[in-house]
Structure 1
């Protein structure tokens, strides 16, 4: 058994003579019943998805957040349970099964697996959890795939009466694939719920000398006011930090104001700063006009 050929079905490996029973017990551990990985392996979510699919006798369909990650969505925890459409009321630890029927057009073959399409995946993840969680998950999937609201509504139309449709409808009203992280989703929702017009995301800017292109997280172009979330990498990475300085100078020279948010800022503090910046830009706009 080569190191790259895992996860694998233990009973098949023994039956095919690729491993002896004592080798299987000594060098490998079961991730799911009869599905093995090397003892020292730290399987990724994709590898665990393969393991779950093998456990289902290669007949299950990867779904939910697992499918979202396989479609390219970021911010799905590698330790999340593998979600699988498969009839089994008592799945092993690390697996979450759903006994439901999928229409033929709602799943596809990708990465050598069967998984729900991006539209069906969005339909599922947008009906679960809190509204904010649903929006963040949809944003992440849309950022990776270009998913449109109409794509998801077409699936919903075929499943009238399904649980969570009202939550999905509300989540789609707030959906924006321009969000590059869950924190950006959170910040956008904070501004909208405070009564501000819906900001545009990923606003393109060209540096004053025309040599550098930037994208603002979100903002209001009529006021030239941006709202941005700075992650930890902006402070800890010296290369990123130097880039941020040059970027800030260029953006200021173009006449934009920014409210920059970090993890330590409270919602109340962010809204106070945004209100102050908003009023300042309104006054500037009136003077110019």
Structure 2
């Protein structure tokens, strides 16, 4: 008897019936119960990817992973910390729990794909769902991330708006698409861009190349105002790595030598002091 997901994420009753484990062993230190009758091998605290696998097993394949869960499976992680797993089901008795959001609705066959043996909504359908359900900033973050990873133009989501004109939130999709840019390098870069644009500052160029003639290559700026020779960059935790620090010093020295000013911000700045970012960029723009 084959037990789907064994031994990583599986239904406990199936594993017992197959003789792979006893109820006592399931309750011991080797396994962790994630959802009713759904277990995973013991390990670190569950993340969204693991919870999404568990949600699919819990639904016995009747659901399709969607929303943030689908984005996670599609290598386009954009969910906030602690986001629940998400399933879309048709006419089914499954109901939402604290750790799983169950949405009831129909999906066109062309809007479902398979990843690691799990059914998930396609990148386009996932972007459509997140782009209309979330607040404006997070919807743009989700669409930017999925469009970058899966190389599609956000404007393609308009086809879904035509197919589902009465779907909840579809009227907000145009605002999301107006602000979306698939060139954005990461969710924090999108958030930084929106801090500027929503404050009324000019829309910056995303991933702007600055040619380095000496090395015959380009230095790319996260955000740029080319006419003002001003760059605005997001520095994540990877920029704390000693080797990366050295590369950053060389990079910014070359940008300065080319006449560019570069303002650098962190996730903490974006989260706690966006007004300061706006003031400093506005001042640099004159």
Tell me the TM-score range normalised by the shorter chain.
0.7 to 0.9
User: In structure 2, what is the equivalent of residue 252 of structure 1?
Assistant: 256
TM-score by length of 1: 0.87
Offset at 1:268?
3.1
Structure 1 gaps, min length 5: 280-289
Structure 2 gaps, min length 5: none
TM-score by length of 2: 0.87
User: In structure 1, what is the equivalent of residue 242 of structure 2?
Assistant: 238
User: In structure 2, what is the equivalent of residue 101 of structure 1?
Assistant: 106
User: In structure 2, what is the equivalent of residue 168 of structure 1?
Assistant: 173
Alignment RMSD: 2.3
Deviations 1:51-106 (CA, angstroms, capped at 9, x unpaired): 11111111210000111121111343464211001234533431110110011111
Contact 1:62 1:85 (8 Å CA) reproduced: yes
Equivalent of 2:153 in 137, 148, 155 = 148
Contact 2:232 2:262 (8 Å CA) reproduced: yes
1:34 corresponds to 2:40: no
1:277 corresponds to 2:284: yes
1:181 corresponds to 2:186: yes
Q: How many matched pairs?
A: 277
Deviations 1:201-240 (CA, angstroms, capped at 9, x unpaired): 1112343422554210011223322121223443x32222
User: In structure 1, what is the equivalent of residue 18 of structure 2?
Assistant: 16
Equivalent of 1:7 in 6, 9, 13 = 9
C-alpha change, 1:21 and 1:260, in structure 2 (3 Å) is: closer
Contact 1:118 1:147 (8 Å CA) reproduced: no
Offset at 1:173?
0.5
C-alpha change, 1:250 and 1:137, in structure 2 (3 Å) is: same
